[in-house]
């Protein structure tokens, strides 16, 4: 894992992933990044099974259906440490988690969030979709419809969670919440804007390309097995990243997924 320059990030592409597995994976990688067991930043690209997540300080006021309704639908509601309010994630949405030392990268929180937004804007432009920022509400927008979300948490200078770009996912579950805590906010997807499916593998490649260009880095594609042997902080149980196999991450029949909303949680 060592001997990569600060201009190279490792990138791991995962299959459809159970949320709690990906969340645990992020936490372990953050710990390793903080104690220098990993000396380069890491990108995780994946989709999640359906899930609603709540930011660390949010309540249930922006859930517009009952918890019993969600249970019947088989979609869990999970509280996470990111900032922001409630959001939905599911298949057809590209999620990118970046475990990045913002101090080492010399990035302010605002600069980092704007770069994540820029990656999504440029990826959408590749399909002729003109998305833009809204400084009052983070993420990327097409007029008053939200196409992509950003939400991060920071532990002693190391950021995790990241961004989510709506490609071909069902938008119906967004109607069961006030996304990001905003009432009457419409969500959209690339599929909806183009009236056709968009190949997820092509969007993944576009996002990787624009990530390299926007952050000025080279991505080194890395498999789970290549992270074997990394040790984590002494205050955590010693384990390796490859305790998670692709089958583990898929999580059987679980319907779990993740985050990405509108704000920042710091110094957790």
- Check: CB of residue 179 under 8 Å from CB of residue 187: yes
180 counts as catalytic: yes
C-alpha 29/C-alpha 38 separation (Å) is: 8
Q: DSSP states of 48-114 as a string?
A: B-SEEEE-TT--STTB-S-HHHHHHHT--EEE-SSSSS-EEE-TTEEEEEEEEEHHHHT--HHHHHH
Strand partners, 187: 146
The contacts of residue 247 (CB under 8 Å, 6+ apart) are none
Catalytic-role residue among 147, 154, 169, 180: 180
Residue 161 pairs in a beta bridge with 152
Residue 72, Ramachandran bin (φ over 0: left; ψ between -120 and 50: alpha; else beta): alpha
Task: Give the residue numbers marked as catalytic.
Answer: 180
């Amino acid at each position: 894992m060592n001997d990569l320059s600060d201009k190279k990030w490792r990138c791991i592409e995962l299959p459809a992933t159970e949320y709690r597995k990906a969340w645990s994976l992020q936490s372990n990688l953050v710990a390793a990044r903080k104690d220098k067991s990993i000396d380069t930043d890491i990108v995780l690209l994946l989709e999640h099974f359906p899930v609603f997540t709540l930011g660390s300080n949010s309540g249930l006021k922006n859930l517009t259906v009952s918890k019993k309704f969600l249970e019947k639908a088989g979609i869990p509601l999970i509280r996470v440490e990111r900032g922001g309010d409630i959001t939905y994630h599911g298949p057809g949405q590209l999620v990118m988690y970046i475990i990045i030392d913002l101090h080492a990268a010399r990035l302010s929180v605002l600069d980092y969030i704007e770069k994540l937004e820029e990656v999504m804007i440029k990826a959408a432009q590749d399909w002729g979709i003109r998305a833009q920022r809204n400084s009052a509400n983070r993420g990327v927008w097409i007029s008053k419809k939200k196409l992509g979300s950003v939400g991060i948490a920071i532990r002693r200078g190391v950021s995790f969670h990241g961004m989510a770009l709506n490609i071909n996912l069902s938008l119906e579950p967004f109607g069961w919440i006030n996304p990001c805590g905003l009432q009457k906010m419409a969500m959209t997807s690339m599929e909806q804007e183009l009236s056709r499916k968009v190949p997820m593998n092509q969007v993944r490649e576009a996002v990787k390309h624009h990530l390299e260009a926007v952050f000025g880095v080279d991505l080194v594609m890395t498999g789970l097995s290549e992270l074997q042997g990394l040790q984590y902080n002494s205050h955590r149980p010693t384990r390796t990243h490859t305790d998670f196999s692709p089958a583990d991450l898929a999580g059987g029949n679980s319907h779990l997924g993740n985050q990405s909303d509108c704000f920042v949680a710091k110094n957790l």
